């Protein structure tokens, strides 16, 4: 069916919405694809819904191709399954919780591992039943702390989530690879530039996990990749080869210490106020990074150390020196700070290190709330060198792990480069966390029950609309790849002459008959308004029926390249079909 602009439920906006920080948000609102209802909650209008549906269909096609079977579970869920796995409390404030009229607890599903596992347990019980892959395309609810950038981070959003159920680790590995390959085909098909990065599995639990990050400067995830190999990892998950020894040579000699000994903000304030300084500090003072150089007596190498001090650089160096003794200390000037290769982005607290399974060594002499730590993960891999200041982050969470751009890579090839991305997909080998919780077993050939192992795989379907828009737009508007575009051809009647309308109707009808999706701008507005809307809406091909018709030609404009060509009006349908 031809979509007529004269009746389409669409009003484009000339002005950017005041709250829009990123291009996709600005353009999707201006072009009338989505409308805000509340923070992180959006309505889909006709053109937006078409793009969303196109992406859903592409997702379904790739899931079906790997043998996935679509089902649909409720979004309104009882508490009990989530209580069984501990996630009713673990999931924290991001979970929408509610009570029914009988005061029973419910939640709006943020992700569905529990219910999928329970559903399989309800139907399957023999080894012959496995493996199986189930999926749904469904609305998810997360009370995000900072809903952001329109539909990029919603509190209500559409996710494709699939779950694999296998009898052993090897089978789980192959279900995981099937998904990884399906995601690669999907994101290629959707015209995205993306990187697959090693990831941490966080609240989901489990072992192997990778994220698909659409490359984009406005993305919220930072990742590093090697200049010469396939190595890529979210900064949260960077591991480097085992350090020869901890602590690394050249740093102040460290002793093993644990959290209780870490000084408090009060002691830092006391320390600073004790020093002969003009100003007095309070715990509420702004904290600042200062770089300090240290070296061991007799050593040639200086080591850079970031120290957090309140206010200006009035830290008493003599006191700091005493704290660091026997190492020599010198304050590094601003120039050096700028040139330093570390990405000093924030403080990391010991609690966060412990929560992430990082063992750490703290030099007790670099006291007063800041300390140099050398971290190692559970398998003794050298993870991060960072500055630790638990008392500087109210909740002790990791704001940013420190990864050094320009470091050799972890796999021995090239150096690390940092970039930003939008998480569009995430795949996990969960293992038996959820199946253990509900005793999901398959009766084996030998008559013995066998614990099923699980994988979970998400695609941010509604987020993809925004991620694609982030990568495909220009200053005039959206520029959709054909696979997701709301139409193929946008026909503009550029003039009042009846002959133009008649020819545009004929061309549109023939294109429509041939299965080409047409938008026809048959409104009674100026050609200038129509052109501006066509650029804004972003259909891949714009066909202008205007002045040239007196010479028997119409104009084709490729939205992406901007290239214009004149084509005989009676040949244009053949050319586009
Ligand atoms: P993020 O790190 O962006 O918060 P997540 O790691 O919490 O995402 P997952 O639990 O891995 O998300 O969910 C699978 C996919 O769902 C994500 O890869 C992402 O594409 C999408 N997604 C997650 N949260 C949102 C949201 N608030 N709005 C839109 N899409 C989302
Ligand atoms: Mg999240
Ligand atoms: Mg994430
Ligand atoms: Mg994720």
pLDDT in tens, 147-198: 888 899 999 999 999 999 999 999 999 999 999 999 999 999 999 999 998 8
Q: How far is the CA of 149 from the centre of ligand 3 (A)?
A: 16
- Residue whose CA is at the smallest distance from ligand 1 atom 25: 153
* Distance in angstroms (rounded) separating the CA atoms of residues 369 and 357: 21
Nearest ligand 1 atom, CA 211: 18
Ligand 1 test: best mutation among 180, 430, 460, 465, most atoms within 8 Å of CB?
460
Q: How far is the CA of 428 from the centre of ligand 4 (A)?
A: 9
Least confident of 323-332, 468-477, 524-533, 550-559: 323-332
What residues flank ion ligand 4 with Cβ within 5 A? 426
Q: Identify the pLDDT of residue 144.
A: 93
- Residue whose CA is at the smallest distance from ligand 1 atom 31: 460
- Residue whose CA is at the smallest distance from ligand 1 atom 21: 460
* Distance in angstroms (rounded) separating the CA atoms of residues 102 and 78: 13
For 568, the enclosing helix (H) or strand (E) is strand 564-568
Give the model confidence (pLDDT) of 55-93 as tens digits.
999 999 999 999 999 999 999 999 999 999 999 998 889
Residue 245 CB partners (closer than 8 Å, separation 6+): none
Mean predicted confidence (pLDDT) in 425-453: 94
Ligand 1 test: best mutation among 199, 423, 428, most atoms within 8 Å of CB?
423
Q: How far is the CA of 423 from the centre of ligand 1 (A)?
A: 7
- Residue whose CA is at the smallest distance from ligand 1 atom 2: 423
Kindly indicate the confidence band of residue 541, based on its pLDDT and cuts at 50, 70 and 90. very high
Kindly indicate the confidence band of residue 352, based on its pLDDT and cuts at 50, 70 and 90. very low
**Residue 78 CA from chain centroid, whole number:** 28
Most confident of 80-89, 134-143, 283-292, 407-416: 134-143
Q: What is the ipTM of this complex?
A: 0.99
Q: How far is the CA of 161 from the centre of ligand 1 (A)?
A: 11
Q: CA-based angle 142:148:151, to the nearest 5?
A: 75
Q: How far is the CA of 392 from the centre of ligand 4 (A)?
A: 27
Residue 248 has pLDDT above 70, yes or no: no
SS3 of residue 65 by DSSP: helix
Q: Identify the pLDDT of residue 81.
A: 94
3-state helix, strand, coil split of the chain in percent (to 5) is 30, 30, 40
Q: Which residues pair with 162 in a beta bridge?
A: 135, 457
Sheet-wide strand order for 328-331:
303-310, 287-295, 328-331
Which ligand lies nearest to the CA atom of residue 110 in the structure?
1
Kindly indicate the confidence band of residue 436, based on its pLDDT and cuts at 50, 70 and 90. very high
Q: How far is the CA of 423 from the centre of ligand 3 (A)?
A: 6
Nearest ligand 1 atom, CA 111: 10
Regarding predicted confidence, which is higher, 208 or 387? 208
Residue 129 has pLDDT above 60, yes or no: yes
Provide the b/e sequence for 202-227 (b: ≥16 CB within 10 Å): eebbbebbbbbbbbbebbebbbbbbe
Ligand 1 test: best mutation among 55, 162, 426, most atoms within 8 Å of CB?
426
Q: How far is the CA of 160 from the centre of ligand 2 (A)?
A: 15
Residue 258 has pLDDT above 70, yes or no: no
Mean predicted confidence (pLDDT) in 190-218: 83
Least confident of 216-225, 271-280, 345-354, 502-511: 345-354
* Distance in angstroms (rounded) separating the CA atoms of residues 129 and 89: 33
Kindly indicate the confidence band of residue 410, based on its pLDDT and cuts at 50, 70 and 90. low
Residue 380 has pLDDT above 90, yes or no: no
Q: Identify the pLDDT of residue 76.
A: 98
Residue 484 has pLDDT above 90, yes or no: yes
Kindly indicate the confidence band of residue 204, based on its pLDDT and cuts at 50, 70 and 90. low
Which ligand lies nearest to the CA atom of residue 236 in the structure?
3
Average pLDDT, the chain: 78
Provide the b/e sequence for 475-514 (b: ≥16 CB within 10 Å): eebbbbbeebbbbbbbbbbbbeeeebeebbbebbebbbee
Neighbours of 259 (CB within 10 A): 15
Ligand 1 is surrounded, with C-beta below 6 A, by 111, 142, 144, 153-154, 157, 159, 423-426, 458, 460, 462-463
Least confident of 111-115, 405-409, 479-483: 405-409
Provide the b/e sequence for 433-464 (b: ≥16 CB within 10 Å): bbbebbebbbeeeeeeeeebbbbbbbbbbbbb
Ligand 1 test: best mutation among 39, 205, 463, 466, most atoms within 8 Å of CB?
463
Q: How far is the CA of 477 from the centre of ligand 4 (A)?
A: 29
Mean predicted confidence (pLDDT) in 25-43: 96
Residue 219 has pLDDT above 50, yes or no: yes
**Sign of the alpha-carbon dihedral angle for 486, 488, 494, 500:** negative
Residue 32 has pLDDT above 50, yes or no: yes
Least confident of 264-278, 288-302, 542-556: 264-278
Neighbour-count burial of 257, counting CB atoms closer than 10 A to its CB (0-12 exposed, 13-18 middle, 19+ buried): middle
- Residue whose CA is at the smallest distance from ligand 1 atom 14: 458
Residue 256 has pLDDT above 90, yes or no: no
Least confident of 246-260, 456-470, 552-566: 246-260
Can you give 198-220 as a three-state secondary structure string? ECCCHHHCCCCEEEEEEECCCCC
Q: State the pTM of this model.
A: 0.75
Q: Identify the pLDDT of residue 18.
A: 85
Q: How far is the CA of 224 from the centre of ligand 4 (A)?
A: 17
Q: How far is the CA of 69 from the centre of ligand 3 (A)?
A: 25
Q: Identify the pLDDT of residue 561.
A: 96
């Amino acid at each position: 069916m031809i979509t007529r602009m004269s009746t389409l439920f669409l009003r484009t906006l000339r002005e950017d919405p005041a709250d829009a920080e990123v291009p996709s948000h600005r353009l999707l609102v201006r072009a009338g694809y989505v409308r805000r209802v509340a923070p992180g909650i959006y309505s889909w209008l006709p053109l937006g819904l078409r793009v969303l549906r196109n992406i859903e269909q592409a997702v379904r096609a790739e899931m079906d191709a790997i043998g996935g079977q679509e089902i649909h579970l409720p979004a309104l869920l009882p508490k009990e399954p989530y209580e069984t796995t501990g996630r009713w409390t673990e999931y924290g404030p991001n979970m929408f919780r509610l009570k029914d009229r009988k005061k029973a607890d419910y939640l709006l599903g943020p992700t569905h591992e529990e219910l999928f596992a329970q559903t399989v347990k309800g139907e399957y019980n023999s080894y012959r039943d496995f493996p199986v892959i189930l999926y749904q395309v469904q609305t998810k609810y997360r009370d995000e702390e900072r809903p952001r950038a329109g539909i990029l981070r919603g509190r209500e959003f559409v996710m494709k989530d699939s779950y694999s159920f296998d009898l052993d680790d090897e089978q789980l590995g192959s279900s995981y690879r099937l998904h990884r390959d399906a995601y690669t085909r999907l994101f290629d098909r959707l015209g995205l530039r993306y990187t697959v990065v090693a990831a941490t599995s966080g609240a989901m639990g489990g072992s192997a996990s990778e994220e698909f990050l659409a490359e984009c400067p406005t993305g919220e995830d930072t990742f590093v990749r090697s200049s010469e190999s396939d190595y890529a990892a979210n900064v949260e998950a960077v591991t480097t080869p085992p350090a020869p020894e901890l602590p690394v040579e050249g740093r102040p000699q460290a002793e093993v210490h644990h959290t209780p000994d870490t000084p408090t903000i009060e002691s830092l304030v006391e320390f600073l106020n004790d020093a002969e300084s003009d100003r007095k500090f309070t715990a509420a003072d702004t904290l600042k990074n200062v770089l300090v150089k240290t070296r061991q007596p007799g050593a040639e190498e200086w080591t850079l150390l970031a120290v957090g001090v309140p206010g200006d650089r009035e830290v008493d160096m003599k006191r700091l020196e005493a704290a660091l003794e026997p190492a020599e200390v010198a304050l590094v000037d601003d120039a050096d700070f700028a040139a330093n290769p570390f990405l000093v982005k924030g403080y990391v607290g010991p609690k966060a290190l412990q929560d992430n399974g990082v063992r750490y060594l703290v030099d007790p002499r670099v006291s007063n709330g800041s300390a140099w730590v050398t971290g190692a993960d559970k398998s003794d891999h050298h993870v991060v060198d960072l500055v630790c200041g638990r008392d500087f982050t109210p909740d002790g969470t990791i704001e940013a792990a420190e990864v050094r751009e320009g470091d050799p890579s972890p796999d021995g090839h090239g150096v690390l480069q940092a970039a930003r991305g939008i998480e569009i997909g995430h795949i996990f080998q969960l293992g038996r966390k959820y199946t253990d919780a509900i005793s999901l077993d398959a009766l084996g050939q030998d008559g013995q029950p066998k614990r099923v192992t699980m994988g979970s795989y998400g695609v941010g379907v509604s987020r993809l609309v925004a991620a694609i828009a982030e990568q495909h737009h220009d200053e005039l508007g959206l520029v959709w790849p054909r696979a997701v575009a709301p139409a193929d051809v946008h026909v503009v009647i550029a003039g009042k002459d009846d002959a133009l309308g008649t020819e545009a109707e004929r061309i549109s009808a023939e294109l429509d008959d041939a299965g080409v999706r047409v938008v026809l701008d048959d409104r009674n507005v100026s050609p200038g308004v129509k052109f501006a809307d066509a650029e804004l809406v972003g259909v891949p091909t714009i066909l202008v029926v205007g002045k040239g018709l007196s010479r028997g030609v119409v104009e084709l404009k490729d939205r992406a390249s901007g290239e214009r060509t004149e084509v005989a009006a009676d040949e244009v349908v053949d050319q586009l079909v």
